[in-house]
Amino acid sequence: MRIIYLDIDSIRPDHIGSYGYTRNTTPNIDKIAEQGVRFNHVYCAASPCVPSRASFMSGRFGINHGALTHWGTGGQFHYPEGDFHSTELPFFTRYLRQADYRTITFSSFGDRHHAWWYFAGWNEIHTHSLKGGNEDAHEVNAAVIPWIKQHGLEDNYFLHIQYWDPHARYTYPKQYAEQFADEPAPAFPDEETIREHRSNSHPRSATFLHWSDDYSKIPKDTMPLEIAERRDFKKLIDGYDGGISYMDKFVGELVEAYRELGIADEICFIISADHAESFGEQGVYMEHGMATEAVHHIPLIVKIPGVTKPGHVNSDLIYNVDVMATVAELLGLPVPTGWDGSSFLPALKGEELEGHDYIVLEHALYACQRAVRDHKWYFIRTYHEGFYDFPEVVLYDLENDPHQTANVADRHPDIVELMQTRLTEWEQANLAKSGRESDPMQDIIRTGGPFRYMQPEQWIGRLQRAGWNQHADALADKYAR
């Protein structure tokens, strides 16, 4: 079996054609989806990049693998000490390799984030550039296509390919954004909502869209400097969709390379993401900074010739760590006892699945939060709000408020209590399972909070330079040292 795992950074499901998006962003991915299964409710257990890919490598939740932020306290990958490797907690890559599957990655992720554990277990590691995630899709394929031509006909391999193009900075040729000039952007947020968002003073807000006020390095053809009105929002979305479209072109190039080898119909595809992206939800734009629906809801398309039921759609709640467990079962391997995922192999065949009643999600890079989601409610518990102005407890009614604009926690105390109970039980069970002496979320809070890329005094200076002195003073009072 030849498995291709396309790991697309920051892509939202609702910007993919097979998920119902009206813009033609992903024709090549859509063709793959027609032959496989589309999953509607898949979530990364922990966001953003480092926590999510630590879950990919380990098959574990963030609370268990420990890398809940990008570096420092609460960001260290937890693995049993000793000279060799754990059979209970194997790296996904080593586990497949021990079963005689060749494992290959084309990704600069480990280099970008100094996540050296990411390089464990692969047969081959191709970082293909020193740009650390700032390479475009053509630069990735310049390394991948020669590999396919040389090794594609071999059997039993897991080939991981990461594309970064939907991640902010949008450095592809500008015509990929310009193709959407005459197509409307999504209706949310509207002009009134954007005006309300203009009063927010956190990073990646409508007014402070960019972390820095040095705009000299921003690709102005594909990115606005701020979101003052819908026209700016459309430019932002055109830029995002342009990155998706550019990436999809090179997905087509992969398929064509296998077609030239005569085995395109035999290739297995798994298409997913590390996390998604906020575009106005919670007043955040172009960022993956909270334990929210917009950030954690990721696509999953699986095509396994002879296994998947073409065109089937699954709507169960599924974690990204369930993908690792499913691949193991697909290859006839038992799911390791230390992994947190469970296989959804029956769903690939179009069968009923006993899915999760609810899932728990974690984020600790820009805020310290955990969320509980079921099929109707989305509950967020904030332990440290970072630069955001966010309530300690939030409850959204997803059925009646899909963009999560109204906190209804006060109206549904019974649901809040239920969700908090679920969260507490989940925390206790996982801390007992991992054997950790402390919760990495609490370690981050205890040592200063979720400040990695920007310290409070730096953002205070940014606000002062913009003349937002009242907000700067409030932030200074809040985080006085």
Residues 6+ apart with CB under 8 A from 477: none
| 129-167 pLDDT tens trace | 999 999 999 999 999 999 999 999 999 999 999 999 999
Phi, then psi, of 307 in degrees rounded to 5: -120, -55
Does residue 356 surpass a pLDDT of 70?
yes
Residues 129/66, Cβ–Cβ less than 8 Å: no
Mean pLDDT of 182-209: 98
Mean pLDDT of 419-445: 94
Does residue 265 surpass a pLDDT of 80?
yes
Residues 74/130, Cβ–Cβ less than 8 Å: no
| Rounded percentage of the chain residues whose pLDDT exceeds 70 | 100
Does residue 354 surpass a pLDDT of 90?
no
Mean pLDDT of 410-424: 98
Residue 435's pLDDT band, with cuts at 50, 70 and 90, is confident
Residue 481's pLDDT band, with cuts at 50, 70 and 90, is low
What's residue 164's pLDDT? 97
Mean pLDDT of 267-284: 98
- Report strand pairing: 278-279 vs 285-287: antiparallel
Residue 99's pLDDT band, with cuts at 50, 70 and 90, is very high
Residues 10/53, Cβ–Cβ less than 8 Å: no
Beta bridge partners of 38: 301, 313
Map residue 119 onto helix, strand or coil: helix
User: Which domains occur in the chain, in start order?
Assistant: 2-359 (3.40.720.10)
Mean pLDDT of 65-78: 96
Average pLDDT, the chain: 97
Mean pLDDT of 219-244: 98
Q: What's at 270, amino acid-wise?
A: I
Phi, then psi, of 202 in degrees rounded to 5: -85, 160
Phi, then psi, of 308 in degrees rounded to 5: -75, 145
| 276-317 pLDDT tens trace | 999 999 999 999 999 999 999 999 999 999 999 999 999 999
What's residue 108's pLDDT? 96
Residues 50/69, Cβ–Cβ less than 8 Å: yes
| Rounded percentage of the chain residues whose pLDDT exceeds 90 | 96
Tell me the pTM: 0.97
DSSP letter for each residue of 130-161: SSTT---HHHHHHHHHHHHHHHTTS-SEEEEE
Does residue 244 surpass a pLDDT of 90?
yes
Q: Tokens in use for 389?
A: 């102005």
Residue 258's pLDDT band, with cuts at 50, 70 and 90, is very high
Mean pLDDT of 257-269: 98
DSSP letter for each residue of 87-103: SSS--HHHHHHHTT-EE
Map residue 373 onto helix, strand or coil: strand
Can you list the alpha helix ranges (DSSP code H) found in 198-349?
A: 230-261, 293-296, 321-330, 345-348
- Report strand pairing: 2-8 vs 268-272: parallel
Residues 381/426, Cβ–Cβ less than 8 Å: no
Whats the size of the chain, residue-wise?
481
